Amino acid sequence: MNKIADLNNRILEVKNLNFSYGPIKALNNLSFHVNKGEIVALLGANGAGKTTLLKTISGLQNAQSGTIYYKGEDITKLPAEQIVKRQLIHVPEHRQIFSTLSVIDNLHLGAYHHYSKTKRKNVVKEIEQLFEIFPILKERQNQLAGTLSGGQQQMLAIARAIMAKPDLLLLDEPSLGLAPIIVKEVLDLVKRLRDHYQTTVLLIEQNVFASLKISDRAYVMQHGTIINEGYAQDILRDENIKEAFLGHAVG
């Protein structure tokens, strides 16, 4: 994207968010925003508060103070099931697919919250369109999800999320535990999905270099707060960021 969008284009705005685990401050007066249509990367070492932030945005835990605005609405105190209905979808760490159900059943469950409003034939059509992007899932559609490879399970988790028609997709470590060649495939897929569905993405990814390559902007977190932000390509060229997260081998 050529410009950082103005206030009217913000799909998510977080202001002065705080959350603690006992005496440990996980989010400390944290503020940031995401514009419609962006892929935004959240960078930071383990324990920086990235996963806590996504859980708080999606309603899996309640902020102790601060405000979360989604599409202009204050969703800070809404439960997760109400946030999902507003098409803010969270794909957490470790995928959490339904391993004893088939691939196709997992995809149908992704459409659960709008299934009553959508004729089954339309859901089937949406799945067929999704199979064009995820051909391996089409091949394995009747296979139990728990028997898929790690990369295939991650693709299923993302595809199931897309069935919920997200306007904003939160992705937490989609490449965790995957081989490098599969990591690239999964992250390329995230960019394709953004381009195809116009879905906005907030991404946590352990492979910092790969995540910045597909992102528009990035925020760097430390001790529960934002310490740096900018366009992804500028972050890639930042020598301090390279040293902290990318290593000296990155040119």
Closest listed residue to residue 68, CA positions, set 5, 18, 8, 7: 18
42 and 105 housed in the same domain: no
46 within 8 A of 79, measured Cβ to Cβ: no
16 and 41 housed in the same domain: yes
CA distances from 198 to 34, 81, 88 (A): 14, 23, 13
The predicted-structure confidence for 208-238, as pLDDT tens digits, reads as follows: 989 999 999 999 999 999 999 999 999 988 8
Domain of 39?
1-87+168-182+200-251
The predicted-structure confidence for 96-110, as pLDDT tens digits, reads as follows: 899 999 999 999 999
Question: What does the DSSP 8-state code read for residue 244?
Answer: I
Task: Determine the Cα–Cα distance for residues 49 and 190; give it in Å rounded to an integer.
Answer: 23
Give residue 48's identity as a one-letter amino acid code: A
117 and 54 housed in the same domain: no
Task: Please give the distance of CA 115 from its chain centroid, rounded to a whole number.
Answer: 23
Q: Residue 248 — pLDDT band, cuts 50, 70, 90?
A: very low
138 and 66 housed in the same domain: no
Task: Determine the Cα–Cα distance for residues 71 and 116; give it in Å rounded to an integer.
Answer: 24
In a domain, 188, yes or no: no
The predicted-structure confidence for 192-205, as pLDDT tens digits, reads as follows: 999 999 999 999 99
Residue 40, classified by CB atoms within 10 Å of its CB into exposed (0-12), middle (13-18) or buried (19+), is buried
Residues with Cβ within 8 Å of residue 115, at least 6 apart in sequence: 108, 123
Considering its fold, how many domains does the chain have in total?
2
210 and 232 housed in the same domain: yes
